[in-house]
Amino acid sequence: MKANSPFFSNPDQNLIFIKNLVLVLEQAIRYLSFGTFGLFIYQLGYASDPDKIRITSGIFDVILFLLGLVIIGRDLVSGKSLKDKRTIFELIVAVLLILSALIRWRAFGDLSEDALIVSRKYLFVNILVILIFIQELGKFSLLVNKLKLSPSLVFILSFMILILIGAALLSLPRSTTAGISFIDALFTSTSAVCVTGLAVLDTSKAFTPFGQIIIMTLFQIGGLGMMTFTTFFGFFFKGSLSIENTLFLRDYINENNVGEITATLIKIIVFTLLVELFSAILIYVWTDDALFSSSGQKWFFASFHAISAFCNAGFSTLSSGLYEPGFRELYNMHLVVAITIILGGIGFPVFINYYNYFFRVIKGAFRAKVYGEAYKHTPRVTNINTRLVMYTTGALLIVGFVAYWYFEQDYTLKGLSPYGKFVTAFFGSVTPRTAGFNTVDMTALSVPTVLIYLILMWIGASPGSTGGGLKTSTFAVAVLNTWSIASGRTRVEIFGRQITAETLRKAFAVIALSFLTIGFGVFLVTIFNPELALIDVAFEIFSAFGTVGLSLGITPKLTTASKLVVSFVMFLGRVGTLTILVAITRKVTEQRYKLPEETVFIT
């Protein structure tokens, strides 16, 4: 329908009508795509029940047919040109959906053929359904700014919604080998979304490949952040972001330059996929073929552990983690996992910072070489945050390595080759920094190592990374402030810069809240599980808050109440205690007054 259509005498009324109709059709496409995807997942979850598949497949085909018709109607009503490649592609997809629905309907009407077999025949249709769902979900995420909620609250709600969806998916019959309680499904989903790795069930035995794929998807999305993940696909399919979307996304990816937000978002996704891809290839190469029944199983193992390592999730498809017999001496593979963990935990702002610096250097050198231009000096673009993160991360890795090497000589390092000791000690300094993988028997660690692990788990990864915990920069700022006070200085200065008072206040607020959260968690778990040793409980809670995933073996022994406590601590450790406090408290207006100052005795 065109604007000059005689449907209304006034052309403006025609435009308004067309605009409203297109909006209605867009919403219909969105909800129909959500419906087809939901039924698709439901069928996968109940794949062992042909009767349920036959009933839901009939509904699925009707919705699929309507989805194709509505897409065609939307493109015709909106007046899109048939010369546009995007329009042609959408119309082809719509026709395929309609034809597939008709063919599937006829196939499922034949009761002589098993419904599950018919469903698996149409893999192409299932792929289309998934792609359309991702497209509409991405577009829908771009509307979140219209809710008029603070970015902090949206960030928290996105994690809560993803956790509940994950728990529902893990509760499906086909996700597990012998069923699962909702509490265990909720705990596992929380652990995956919050990239922790604590597990009340053996991931390799309790969950089917379908369930393991769900877990892998949850920690992939949880590692990147729900809003970052969906907004990327919204931009990918829509082709642009509005100013409102750009401003709303700024806080999620730690990019102050509004003009660079879209480019930064793309860099984050590309960096993530490239690191995970190369990590998966190297894990595949440095893992023995004899440990797997097929090449496909080996590729799944490599992909699962590459994504889990980059997201600092700590989940493994092996019952004993990387300490599993046959895997515990694959030291090259352990190094790949350790480096992937570091890249995921270093933080996206650091990667963007170094990317911009090296891009300028390479670009200047290229133009000087090819075009004969005078080489222009590139100033150091690494800001104070990047330098603090790099120095702190390096210091923690060195301290962790030396401490592990020294204290574990007669324990977990005993009997290993020199190269094995080096890799194990290095891995042991990396994994408590929110990773959660283990290449040794955790219950065999010496007491000093366990205590050092508590500190490393508490500090955690870096801001803007896939990990949790206190964060390296927060710890560094607190140490610098303490040193400044002790040396009688009135300011905190580092690298030729002065750290703002607001940063100092936030750092100590986060530290105070972390101690309150950990202390309260330990207190509650000791009440609900009084038979557990205090050191084991403390290790569990520190691990949960740091989203580490390491355990001294008590996770399966937790009561229902303790599981809920640990789940909540994992959630707080991932989203941030200060983030939650900011989201639920009302913003105070600017204080245009100043009260008289008075000293309070501290020491």
For the stretch 341-354, pLDDT in tens is 999 888 888 888 88
Of residues 136, 159, 123, the one with CA closest to residue 40: 123
- Give the residue ranges of DSSP H helices in 46-84: 50-77
Per-residue tokens: 467: 């990990």
pLDDT top residue among 106 and 449: 449
**pLDDT at residue 297 tops 90:** yes
Please report, as a single letter, which amino acid is at residue 482.
Answer: T
Distance CA 437, CA 252 (A): 27
First to last CA, the chain: 78
Please report, as a single letter, which amino acid is at residue 13.
Answer: Q
Distance CA 599, CA 602 (A): 9
Distance CA 418, CA 351 (A): 33
Per-residue tokens: 336: 């790949």
Of residues 57, 153, 168, 148, the one with CA closest to residue 106: 57
DSSP class of residue 176 equals: B
For the stretch 416-427, pLDDT in tens is 999 999 999 999
3-state secondary structure of 494: strand
What is the model's pLDDT at position 112?
Answer: 41
Distance CA 185, CA 447 (A): 32
Question: Percentage of residues in the chain with pLDDT exceeding 70?
Answer: 81
Mean pLDDT of 112-127: 59
DSSP class of residue 207 equals: B
**pLDDT at residue 111 tops 70:** no
Distance CA 537, CA 559 (A): 13
**pLDDT at residue 466 tops 90:** no
**pLDDT at residue 194 tops 70:** yes
DSSP class of residue 587 equals: P
DSSP class of residue 439 equals: S
Distance CA 158, CA 27 (A): 21
Determine which of 77-81, 358-362, 554-558, 586-590 has the lowest per-residue pLDDT on average.
Answer: 586-590
- Residues contacting 70, CB < 8 A, separation 6+: 25, 28, 29, 32
Angle among Cα 396, 315, 155 to the nearest 5 degrees reads 75
For the stretch 126-175, pLDDT in tens is 788 888 887 777 777 666 666 666 777 777 888 888 899 999 999 988 88
Question: Percentage of residues in the chain with pLDDT exceeding 90?
Answer: 35
- Give the residue ranges of DSSP H helices in 110-241: 115-121, 123-141, 151-170, 182-193, 203-206, 209-224, 226-238
Per-residue tokens: 434: 């929110």
pLDDT top residue among 79 and 231: 79
**pLDDT at residue 107 tops 80:** no
**493 strand-pairing partners:** 498
Please report, as a single letter, which amino acid is at residue 27.
Answer: Q
Assign 18 a pLDDT band (cuts: 50, 70, 90): confident
